[in-house]
Structure 1
Amino acid sequence: MSSTNQNETLGILVCTHSTLAGGFKQAIEMLMGPQENFETIGLYEGDDIMDLSKKIIELIQSMQTHKNVIFTDLFGASPTNSAAMTLVDINASIVTGVNLPMLAEILTLRNQQLPFEDLLMDIVAKGKDNIRIITKEMILEG
């Protein structure tokens, strides 16, 4: 298993439909302050997915990181498909179904010496664990 190295910051790119990725970045910076090697890009109506793939490669290369994680909003949708097309050109893994807890977790843990695969499994678990249903009955029961 490969490990993330404290001297090798992991690059993070969030790629979603419309302005969702930018909203995630604003929320993260509100909670955690500015983050290095954390980029976002959105796909808008009428955009070409090949152009999006090129922009993804450019953003990943601009971070000058050895390993990268691309977060996308929907498995099988255009942002994910565009990101998948870039994997032959960049060193990255894709995590679909992005949510705020996942991003906070990876930004907190990315410089620790964890096996890369374990880090990815941890952030997926964190994302799933934060999906809950809260009902009126639960509140009333205390």
Structure 2
Amino acid sequence: MISIILTGHGQFAFGLYSAAELIVGPQENFKTVDFTQEMSTDELSEQLQHAINQLPKESEILFLTDLLGGSPFRSSVELAMQRKGCEVIVGTNLQMLTQVLMEKDEYKTITELATVALGWGKQGILSFKHKKNADTQRQEGGEGI
């Protein structure tokens, strides 16, 4: 079983989950932890540990975080290193989160899920203008030698 903890600065976790919930519905074995301005990093770590404790003991945990090097990322990494069956992803976006929530039960290991989740996140980042230009070039045969 794979459980998910979504964490980030401000209302990132709650806001992103709120949007995902509109698309995929409420989720089990899922926790959000927001790192608010009033919190210390110790309080953040305590809240993340509390979230872990609320999840099934046998589950693997995928931490989804917002910003590389940020406190939510660092605290997640510290906790993940203390426990088997954890992965931490940084740069989480709505595309990634909704795909993870819809397809997490299709993967046997947390490592497999984390690997494909990175691809889903990247697929969700593009520029309409650049995509349109690339499609037009393909149609006109602009990709020749």
**What TM-score results when the alignment is normalised by the length of structure 2?**
0.82
Higher helix share: 2
2:123 match: 129
The correspondence for 1:94, drawn from 75, 88, 91, is 88
C-alpha distance in structure 2 between counterparts of 1:136 and 1:117, whole Å: 32
Rg (Cα) greater in structure: 2
- Aligned residues of 1:60 and 1:90 also touching (Cα < 8 A): no
Equivalent residue for 1:34? 26
Is 1:58 paired with 2:50?
Answer: yes
Question: Quick one: which of 63, 66, 79 aligns to 1:73?
Answer: 66
Distance 1:33 1:135, change over 3 A: same
Identical pairs, percent: 25
* Other structure's SS at 1:87 match: helix
- Consecutive unaligned residues of structure 2, counting only runs of 5 or more, are 137-145
Q: 1:118/1:23 Cα in 2 relative to 1: closer, same or farther (>3 Å)? A: same
Q: Is the 8 A contact 2:87 2:110 kept in 1?
A: no
Aligned AA (1:68): I
* Unmatched 5+ stretches in structure 1: 1-7
Contact 1:49 1:78 in 2 (8 A): yes
Query: Matched residue pairs, number?
Result: 133
Quick one: higher RCO (CA 8 Å, sep 6+), 1 or 2?
Answer: 1
User: How does the TM-score come out when normalised to structure 1?
Assistant: 0.84
- What does residue 140 of structure 2 align with? none
Alpha-carbon distance between aligned partners in 1 of 2:108 and 2:91, rounded to the nearest angstrom = 22
- 1:3-28 CA distances to partner (integer Å, 9 max, x unpaired)? xxxxx2x1111100010110111111
1:97 corresponds to which letter in structure 2? G
